[in-house]
Chain A
Amino acid sequence: GENVEQHPSTLSVQEGDSAVIKCTYSDSASNYFPWYKQELGKGPQLIIDIRSNVGEKKDQRIAVTLNKTAKHFSLHITETQPEDSAVYFCAASIGQAGTALIFGKGTTLSVSS
C-alpha cells in the first residue's frame, strides 16, 4: 500500500542553525505534499505545502523542495528559534481524488538556545 517515510525521527539543533527533514513517498499518483507542525495538546497546523507542478517553495524561514522523479520531498527551516520546537509531519495525497492524506511518522525538533 501507499507509504510515506520520514527521517530523522528526532532532530536537535542550536538556535540559529538550519534543520532539514526528509520524506519519501510511494504512490506515483500523489500530487500534493503538505507539512504540518504539531505542538503539545494541539492539532496539526499547516506550515507550508507544495504541489506536483512546482519544484521548490519558500515562505520566510521555511522552504520545501520536491523531486517527483525520486519521489522525495524535504523541509528546510533556517535560523531556527526555540519556538520552532515541535513535532513536524510530512504528508502526501492519496490518489487523485478527495482530500485523503498519508502521513509520515513525524520528526521531533528541539531547538536549544
Chain B
Amino acid sequence: KAGVTQTPRYLIKTRGQQVTLSCSPISGHRSVSWYQQTPGQGLQFLFEYFSETQRNKGNFPGRFSGRQFSNSRSEMNVSTLELGDSALYLCASSLQGSNQETQYFGPGTRLLVL
C-alpha cells in the first residue's frame, strides 16, 4: 500500500505571497493532520481534518487554513507569507481518526520564504 504523499516536496516563495500544499493520505485513511516543523519550535500541530470537516486546530494564526476533499486528500494554505513560515510542513494520516490510533507521516514539503 502506498504511503502518505505530499506535493510539492520543495517550494520557494517570497514574503506576502500565498502557498498551497497538498497531501494524499494512505488509501482508506479518513483523517489527515498537518504539522509544522522548525528547528526552534519543533513539531507543532496545525489542524486535523476528518470527513471533510476540521476537527481540531492548533495555535496558529488565521493565515493558516486547510480543507479536505471527499476522497480524503487534503490541502493547506498559508496566505501573506512571513519569513517565519519557513519550515517543513508534514501531514499525517490515520484510518478512523481516533485519538489512540497510529498516524503515518509523509515526507513533508519544505517551504522557504525569502
Measured CB to CB, the residues of A under 8 A from B are: 1, 31-32, 34, 36, 41-46, 49, 51, 89, 91, 93-106
Contacts and interface: CB of A to CB of B under 8 A. Distances in A.
Given A43-B106, A95-B99, A106 B42 contact: yes
A10 B46 CA distance: 27
Given A98-B97, A101-B45, A102-B45, A46 B58 contact: no
Contacts of B94: 99
29 contacts: A1-B59, A31-B99, A31-B100, A32-B100, A34-B102, A43-B4, A44-B90, A45-B105, A51-B100, A89-B43, A91-B43, A93-B99, A97-B99, A98-B48, A98-B50, A98-B55, A98-B97, A99-B31, A99-B33, A99-B48, A99-B56, A99-B97, A99-B98, A99-B99, A100-B99, A101-B33, A101-B43, A103-B42, A103-B43
**Chain A interface secondary structure, helix, strand, loop or mixed?**
loop
B108 interface: yes
B99 A32 contact: yes
A89 B108 CA distance: 16
Contacts of B45: 94, 100-102
A45 B3 CA distance: 11
A96 B104 CA distance: 19
A44 B45 CA distance: 14
Contacts of B58: 100
B73 to A, nearest CB: 17
Contacts of A34: 102-103
B31, B45, B99, B108: which has the most chain A beta carbons within 10 Å?
Answer: B99
Contact of A93 (B42, B100, B107): B100
B33 to A, nearest CB: 5
Contacts of B55: 97-98
Contacts of B106: 43
B29 to A, nearest CB: 11
Contacts of B4: 43
B92, B94, B100, B108: which has the most chain A beta carbons within 10 Å?
Answer: B100
Interface in B19-71: 31, 33, 35, 42-45, 48, 50, 55-56, 58-59
